[in-house]
Amino acid sequence: MAEAERITGTGGAPGAERSAEQASGTDGTPETGREAAAGATAVRGSRKIGVLFAVAALAYLLDLVSKVLVVAKLEHHDSIDLIGDWLRLEAIRNPGAAFGMGGAFTVIFTVIAAAVIFVIVRLARKLYSLPWAIALGLLLGGALGNLTDRLFRSPGVFEGRVVDFIAPKHFAVFNLADSAIVCGGILVVLLSFRGLDPDGTIHKD
């Protein structure tokens, strides 16, 4: 009887071990954990750093070229009506933030723009979401566009006045960099409400 008990006891162990191995996998990782990890990888895909910088470069170049043309062709000239008096082109120099706000804090807005650029570049290392890449690219390009004015336009470094020229009726005058920043910010808010993170994962809380 003792011999039979020993045989029975040792015979059941391998089966239990095999069942445990099948449940957890050969590397000890639970099947559900491995499947979840594989699913996360499939959702994330490849990093979208290239998309971010491509969008940023496009937004920056459009803003830069438009400002060069405005300074050369429109500044010190009469405004141009595009849609009656509802939309016109009018060159002004703005010492404040987007849409002419905060004219007395030019240096502070310059520092904030530089900080935003730094944070976006840091986030780029963990960027796997295409919509987030587009949103952050718009923010980066817009921030770079206005920061360039702050650094290189009169009256001096960190105090340069931004070139604005898009003038809707009953609204502040702005530029393409401002538009990129606003569009990027709206997209960030929408993505956050949908639960999509920059690394490509989705949360439901």
Beta bridge partners of 81: 88
Catalytic-role residue among 63, 78, 164, 199: 164
Catalytic-role residue among 178, 197, 199, 205: 178
The answer to whether 178 is a known catalytic residue is: yes
Residue with more model confidence, 56 or 97: 56
Residue range 92-113: mean pLDDT, rounded? 67
The answer to whether 85 is a known catalytic residue is: no
Would you place residue 155 in the very low, low, confident or very high pLDDT band (cuts 50, 70, 90)? confident
Would you place residue 136 in the very low, low, confident or very high pLDDT band (cuts 50, 70, 90)? very high
Residue range 167-192: mean pLDDT, rounded? 94
Alpha carbon 166 to its chain's center: 24
Alpha helices in the chain (DSSP H): 2-24, 31-44, 49-73, 106-123, 130-152, 176-194
pTM: 0.72
2 pLDDT above the threshold of 50: no
101 pLDDT above the threshold of 90: no
pLDDT at 6: 45
Tokens (6 digits) for 140: 């980066």
Q: What rounded mean pLDDT belongs to the chain? A: 79
CB atoms within 10 A of CB 155: 10
Residue range 160-166: mean pLDDT, rounded? 92
61 pLDDT above the threshold of 70: yes
